[in-house]
Structure 1
């Protein structure tokens, strides 16, 4: 399956379209590596907590673009499953901090192993030169995405205008 015939200097909209297609295919492949017993929303929470250990519920809710009550219910279920721990903040006893439990970390590690196996199966069918090009492109994409996330969408939009 060819996604597109590439131009020598593809425009961002063309690359965005192909990247979206690749992301959709990844979702299908990764669907084979089930996220059970966590739902997609719960998985997002686990990934956020992994990168922002000890955040409070309000910050997590903002990261999810959700409300604190909905986020609290998500965390209740993750805590019941043993994936999340709630810890009282040493600075303010009214504030609860969230962190992954060892079981939550083990779940994410296992999920990543299963997802990598799916990716390796696909990548093994690609010529080595194409894998190198993909790696270089993904490295640049990750750097640009991290910058956009760190500095916010508005700052990034100002730089590209």
Structure 2
């Protein structure tokens, strides 16, 4: 059921085009939104990619005006990555379009089923956030 739901979301959200960014570039934007000011190596690790590939992704996003590169105040050789105002606006617009597509489906569901779905999604979000937090803290970390 989860793979079917994920595939259906992909179809719905595919209608809300991510142009002009690719799926990989979108992942970069989403990571930067949640981890403003990370360096290239940390971003590459988050993407399970190499620094040269990640640098090329960021070069294209910077050229398109979605990402800002700012020299670290503590080490001028290190570059910190941030979403630009255009990057923030793009993600807000994408979320709005995706939300409209999802809302059209939810509007077709009976109220009781929507309430159950909401409860399940809240539990899912809590569990996923805990897992991501544990992974970010590294091996041996545990949540209380």
Normalised to the residue count of structure 2, the TM-score between the two structures is 0.94
State the partner residue of 1:6.
none
Structure 2: which 5+ residue stretches go unaligned? Answer: none
Structure 1: which 5+ residue stretches go unaligned? Answer: 1-17
The equivalent position to 2:99 in structure 1, one of 110, 116, 123, is 116
State the partner residue of 2:53.
70
The equivalent position to 1:47 in structure 2, one of 17, 22, 30, is 30
The structure having more radius of gyration, on CA atoms, is: 1
State the partner residue of 2:13.
30
User: Aligned pair count?
Assistant: 141
d(CA) in 2 for partners of 1:154, 1:125 = 44
State the partner residue of 2:133.
150
State the partner residue of 1:80.
63
Deviation string for 1:93-147 (max 9, x for gaps)? Answer: 1100000000000000000000000000000000000000000000000000000
- Higher relative contact order, structure no. (Cα contacts within 8 Å, ≥ 6 residues apart): 2
**How far does residue 155 in structure 1 lie from its aligned partner after superposition?**
6.1
Deviation string for 1:56-101 (max 9, x for gaps)? Answer: 0000000000000000000000001000000000010110000000
Tell me the secondary structure at the aligned position of residue 98 of structure 1: strand
User: For the Cα contact (< 8 Å) 1:148–1:155, is it kept in 2?
Assistant: no
d(CA) in 2 for partners of 1:131, 1:155 = 38
**How far does residue 23 in structure 1 lie from its aligned partner after superposition?**
1.0
Normalised to the residue count of structure 1, the TM-score between the two structures is 0.84
Tell me the secondary structure at the aligned position of residue 99 of structure 2: helix
User: Do residues 89 (structure 1) and 79 (structure 2) align?
Assistant: no
d(CA) in 1 for partners of 2:125, 2:39 = 27
Tell me the secondary structure at the aligned position of residue 59 of structure 2: helix
State the partner residue of 2:82.
99
RMSD: 1.6
**How far does residue 34 in structure 1 lie from its aligned partner after superposition?**
0.1
